[in-house]
Amino acid sequence: MLAVCGLTQRFGGLVALDDLTFQVEEGMIYSIIGPNGAGKSTLFNCVCGIYRPDRGAVRFREEEITGRKPHQVARRGIARTFQNLELFRHMTTMENLMLGRHLHRRSGIWSGITMFHRRSRAAREEVEHRERVEEIIDLLGLHAARDRYIWQLPYGTQKLVELGRALATRPSLLLLDEPAAGMNFEERQDLLFWIGDIRDELGVTIVMIEHNMQMVMGISDRVLALDFGRTIAEGTASEVAAHPEVVRAYLG
């Protein structure tokens, strides 16, 4: 579903991604681990069109998307969350989730031939958006947060709202950048459960960046360990956890 081939990204003299190659099959939960500065977020930025890589290619469902703009990548069904929250703090959970749906609005000023036609279609779409957002609220257990402002919510709940907003675009591929960062143990356990549900019930393929190896052990189909922008190990979670270079990187 996603193929990264020989991806290289430099910042001045620093090589953040160094000839990186890997593939993610449809339906997987694929985790990327590695110490701070390993190039994990840079990889997502290259996939999403925020950075234009110096070399290499990104392919999504056989189509090359390297160098496409972020909205073009999003329209193909790739959504992401950010390592640092990017929500509208003075809007409610519901409003933030509705914004995620924006991408799917078909009825604009130019669509529809007659006023009547246009109005009925817009009304139908509005109902569809609300239904979809209610589904996400159910799925992630966000009922209590529904009509509260983002700034009023605990950090762990804010992270869930961001996850919900990414889901609201109905992606087929979801990129999560350290979704559990800043969460307590219980919130982390819940999050893992929901990530499993998102894959199983919505059929979304997931690529998850996580600093902590323990977090990804139980849930990942495959794991990629990065350091200095290069692969140090790739395989099943237990293969990667036992790899001597991973052990060295994590245990010093």
CB of 216 to Mg ion, least distance (A): 15
Neighbours of 153 (CB within 10 A): 20
- Residue 114: contacted member of Mg ion, ligand ADP, none (CB under 5 to 8 Å, by partner type): none
Calculate the CA dihedral of residues 29, 33, 39, 40 and round it to 10 degrees. Answer: 30
Q: Is 66 in the site for ligand ADP (CB under 6 A)?
A: no
> C-alpha distances in angstroms, 224 versus 89, 202, 209, 216, 237?
34, 24, 9, 11, 9
CB of 227 to ligand ADP, least distance (A): 9
Residue 36 makes contact with ligand ADP by CB under 6 A: yes
Q: Of the ranges 35-43, 85-93, 156-164, 189-197, which one interacts with ligand ADP (CB under 6 A)? A: 35-43
**CA of residue 215 relative to chain centroid, distance:** 16
Inter-axis angle of helices 185-202 and 115-139, nearest 10: 130
Q: Which of 179, 170, 108, 103 minimizes the C-alpha distance to 136? A: 170
Query: Which residues does residue 80 pair with via DSSP β-bridges, in sequence order?
Result: 175
Sheet harboring 222-227: ordered strands across?
A: 78-80, 173-177, 205-209, 29-33, 222-227, 230-235
- Binding of ligand ADP at residue 179 (CB under 6 A)? no
Of the candidates 186, 182, 227, 173, the one whose C-alpha atom is nearest the C-alpha of residue 32 is 227
Residue 223 binding: pick among Mg ion, ligand ADP, none (C-beta 5-8 Å cut-off by kind): none
Pick one of 37, 70, 154, 203: the residue that binds ligand ADP (CB under 6 A).
37
Query: Are 32 and 209 within 8 A, CB to CB?
Result: yes
User: How far apart are CB 8 and ligand ADP at their closest, in Å?
Assistant: 12
Which residues are near Mg ion by CB under 5 A? 40-41, 83
Nearer Cβ to Mg ion (39/164): 39
- Between residues 175 and 240, which has the closer beta carbon with respect to Mg ion? 175
Out of 20, 24, 41, 132, the residue judged to bind ligand ADP by CB under 6 A: 41
User: Does residue 16 belong to the site contacting ligand ADP (CB under 6 A)?
Assistant: yes
Interaction of residue 42 with ligand ADP, rule CB under 6 A: yes
Contact between 34 and ligand ADP by CB under 6 A: the answer reads yes
Task: List residues binding ligand ADP (CB under 6 A).
Answer: 11, 14, 16, 34, 36-42
